[in-house]
Amino acid sequence: MSLYVFVGLCVVGVDVLIYILLQWMYGDTRRALAEKLEAQRIAMSPQRSQPFVVASQANSTVTRQRLQKVKQRLERHTA
C-alpha cells in the first residue's frame, strides 16, 4: 500500500516538474503572442471601424487658414 502512495507522489512530482519546465521555456513566448493577438483583435473590432487619420504636412497652411476662418465666424456669432 505504501509503495502505491510513493509511486503516486512520484508521478505527481514529475508532472509538476514538467509543468514548471514548460512554463519556464515557453511561458513568456506564449504570453507575448497572446498579448499581440489580443491587441490585433481589439484594433480590428467593429467599435474601432474609423481609421486613424493624420493631417498631412503639405496641407497644414490650408488647415490653419480654415481654422482661423472658423474661429472668426464663431467670434462674430458669439459677439
* Residue pLDDT, tens place only, 8-31: 999 999 999 999 998 888 777 777
Give the count of domains, the chain. 1
Amino acid (1-letter code) at residue 27: G
Judge whether 48 and 42 are in contact, CB under 8 Å: yes
Please report the sign of the dihedral spanned by the C-alpha atoms of residue 54, residue 58, residue 60, residue 65.
Answer: negative
Instruction: Give the separation between CA 31 and CA 16, rounded to whole angstroms.
Output: 20
71 band by pLDDT with thresholds 50, 70 and 90: confident
Q: Could you give the count of Cα atoms lying within 13 Å of 7 in the half-sphere of its Cβ? A: 4
**Does residue 39 have a pLDDT over 70?**
yes
Residue 3 lies in a domain: yes
What is the pLDDT at residue 75?
80
Alpha helices in 1-79, H assignment, sequence order? 2-43, 60-78
> Do 63 and 55 meet the contact criterion of CB atoms below 8 Å apart?
yes
Q: Which domain holds residue 35?
A: 1-46
Q: Classify residue 54: in a domain, yes or no.
A: no
